[in-house]
Amino acid sequence: MADSLVKTYGSAVFGIDATTITIEVNISQGTTFYLVGLPDNAVKESQQRITAALRNNGFQYPFKKMIINMAPADIRKEGSAYDLPLAMGILAASNQISADIIDDYVIMGELSLDGSLLPIKGALPIAIKAREEGFKGFILPKQNAREAAVVNNLDVYGMENIREVANFLNGQSDAKPMNVDTRAEFAQSVGKFDCDFADVRGQENVKRAMEIAAAGGHNIIMIGPPGAGKTMLAKRLPSILPPFTLHEALETTKIHSVAGKIDKETSLMTTRPFRSPHHTISDVALVGGGTFPQPGEISLAHNGVLFLDELPEFQRTVLEVMRQPLEDRVITISRAKFTVEYPASFMLVASMNPCPCGYYNHPDRRCVCNPGMRQKYMNRISGPLLDRIDIHVEVTPVPFEKLSGKESLESSATIRERVTKARAIQQQRFADLEGVHCNAQMSTRLIRKYCVLDAECQQMIKNAMERVGLSARAYDRILKVSRTIADLDGSENITRVHLAEAIQYRSLDRNNWGE
């Protein structure tokens, strides 16, 4: 028997980008099986899954000398998604299916023992890479087809089992590529929310702080007793953020695709993500990483909101690893042989009780904590982390009269209009600057350029800094927030009123907090 060599193509995902993998299958006389090219255990185990799947679907597993190389050989191949391209390569090399069009397609999918296909992670970045490299199409499990079909100029075929794939490659199938009108679906679904600010009675000061945070992309922390409405307000923040642009939606969907968080009915994410991890989360789960690096919660919240409820209950080390991504808006995970970068441009929304018992500063209930206990509780959050949170706002319980009121309240859509107008001003202001889209992303140089204060405002902030003991970073945060308040007002200059409101949003910087 002459040697038979066939090439199929798969893909490996690193970070949020894919790399094409060439799978070379060579069959010759003999009985040994070699799988080379740095496969992990899940890839090595594919031989048993492929053997069972082929036999259960009427194919023969060739017990010959078989060498399979996965190139480039210096990149580690991980996971079970290579089952399908390996199986198709074996069938083509043993002349059980035609090899005429097999190299026109990227093929990915995990096999069950009965030959059915199971979903994979990272279908969207793989599809994007396949189009870039000029492949005609992408064959993958049906559950991932809508996600991959977002990419235009690429035929995406969702298959249910190995028999369907074999028939397709033999030219015996009438399978049609999945068709998704991305723009139409995006326009139809964008801006639909389950929660609305019209549901929230009272808390006008907190709603105002939320509006400012949304308008400038600022981080915000809410301090208040249990049951005052902190979580309810945080969950409604995405409803007043500006709608996704198509580019943002694609970028966010890529991250969720890599993490395997895309629903099979979803083609493109249309609402900004809202991530709310429990306080027992580890630092790796929060920022990303692991033996085979995966995006963490801060990357899953990219272009959306990361909500940390009961902030002091999080482990100190977990909160400290967030400091650098909050500034750089990207997280770099380094390993001995490679480095992976995940975007992490998110709005941080945190909430906390003012003390261990939760009732410090409560209008009706008495706090049972002494000043030392309150200070110890506050010290669980480091000063550098608090400095990176632009807006601090106190949440007080809503009186019964307001809770039982019947008047209609301002909806999220109305607030979102004002936020979107303010963001449009900022987009215009930073149009020539790459990576700067809102006031919260301004560097010190940009603050000096766009947050110019007159003499009266200079004196006001000087007095506030001396009285409260603000850091240099807190000074910058006040200027950024006052610039956002001025944008919401449609004002070109920062006035005394704007600055005064921004200063009051630094309540945790007060020297006497908790005493």
- pTM score: 0.88
Lowest mean pLDDT among 107-116, 200-209, 278-287: 200-209
Q: Is the pLDDT of residue 224 over 50?
A: yes
Helix, strand or coil, per DSSP, at residue 510: coil
The DSSP secondary-structure symbol of 375 reads: H
Please write the tens of the pLDDT for every residue from 44-87: 999 999 999 999 999 999 989 999 999 998 888 988 999 999 99
Predicted confidence band of residue 191 (pLDDT cuts 50, 70, 90): low
Cα 240 vs. chain centroid, distance in angstroms? 18
Q: Which residue has the higher pLDDT, 209 or 365?
A: 209
Cα within 13 Å of Cα(181), Cβ side: 5
246 CB burial (10 A radius; 0-12, 13-18, 19+): middle
Cα 159 vs. chain centroid, distance in angstroms? 28
> Tokens 């000061």, residue?
205
CA distance 315 to 296: 16
Give me the pLDDT at residue 1, please: 47
Give CB contacts under 8 A, 24+ apart, made by 360-369.
360/514, 361/225, 361/394, 361/396, 362/225, 362/396, 362/397, 363/396, 363/397, 364/397, 365/225
Q: Which residue has the higher pLDDT, 310 or 187?
A: 310
Q: Is the pLDDT of residue 503 over 70?
A: yes
Please write the tens of the pLDDT for every residue from 446-469: 999 999 998 999 998 888 888 777
What is the amino acid identity at position 354?
A: P
